[in-house]
Amino acid sequence: MRTAFKILILEDNQSDVDLLQRELKRNGLYFVCEVVQTRESFENALDNYFPDIILSDFTLPAFDGISAFNIRQIKAPDTPFIIVSGSIGEERSVELIRDGVTDYALKDKLFSLCPKINRALADAAIRKEKKQTDTELKKQYEKLLKVAFLQSHQVRVPIANILGLYSLFNFENAEDPMNGKVLQMLKLVAEDLDKTIHEIVQNTSEIRDIIK
């Protein structure tokens, strides 16, 4: 079963809202929407409605599209934001796109809006997936670093012990009683190192699982 995507419409003219909704339905878009007119209701919708996309008029009596966009940048920066205006110059449109507005459409040319909505939602889905992938890769990288550090530490300790015991061995006097103790300790350290190496080999399978 399809899930309806959520549209937040910032518009004070109910006739324009009705025209907008009819155009979207005529083009087969499956959606639910919430209509707001003020800054307070817009912020509340971002905090509680969690829209998939925002359609905003450019000028309202008590609010405006630019202010709404700036609020969206703070509260929901990944949510597509499309300006739907009765009149907006080409130069101003270019400035809006450059500033980060997803797209714009004219109210007397609503036929262009649905393709822009579909494209914006598709792009947002790609960005969301990439963000999730990047987050997962970061977690995997940090886990790999931890495994590598632990394995490196596990190897360094017995090797340092071996080198230390080696310096205690009396090569000039093989009969030195201390040599027997040194050899016995070397045997224990070597067994510990062998155990560590086996653990590292086992951990290799864990690393393979991490990077899959």
Domain CATH code at residue 74: 3.40.50.2300
d(CA 201, CA 185): 25
Last residue within a domain, chosen from 132, 157, 180: 132
> Structure pTM?
0.67
d(CA 11, CA 15): 10
Contact, 7 vs 31, CB < 8 A?
A: yes
Number of compact structural domains in the chain: 2
For residue 89, how many C-alpha atoms fall within 13 Å in the half-sphere facing its CB?
Answer: 3
Contact, 80 vs 123, CB < 8 A?
A: yes
> Is residue 138 located within the same domain as residue 167?
yes
> Is residue 146 located within the same domain as residue 126?
no
> Is residue 138 located within the same domain as residue 101?
no
Contact, 11 vs 57, CB < 8 A?
A: yes
Rounded to the nearest 10 degrees, the angle between the axes of helix 65-75 and helix 39-48 is 30
Please provide the size of the chain in residues: 212
Provide the residue range defining the domain that includes 190.
133-211
DSSP strand E in 37-192: where? 53-56, 81-85, 103-106
> Is residue 176 located within the same domain as residue 206?
yes
Residue 59 forms beta bridges with which residues? 64
Joined together, the tokens standing for residue 149 give 């550090």
Q: Furthest-apart CA pair in the chain: how many Å?
A: 105
Query: What is the pLDDT tens value at each position of the chain, 212 positions in all?
Result: 678 999 999 999 999 999 999 999 999 999 999 999 999 999 999 999 999 999 999 988 889 999 999 999 999 999 999 999 887 777 888 888 899 999 999 998 999 999 999 999 999 999 999 888 888 877 777 776 666 665 666 666 666 666 666 667 667 676 777 767 767 777 777 777 767 766 666 665 555 555 55
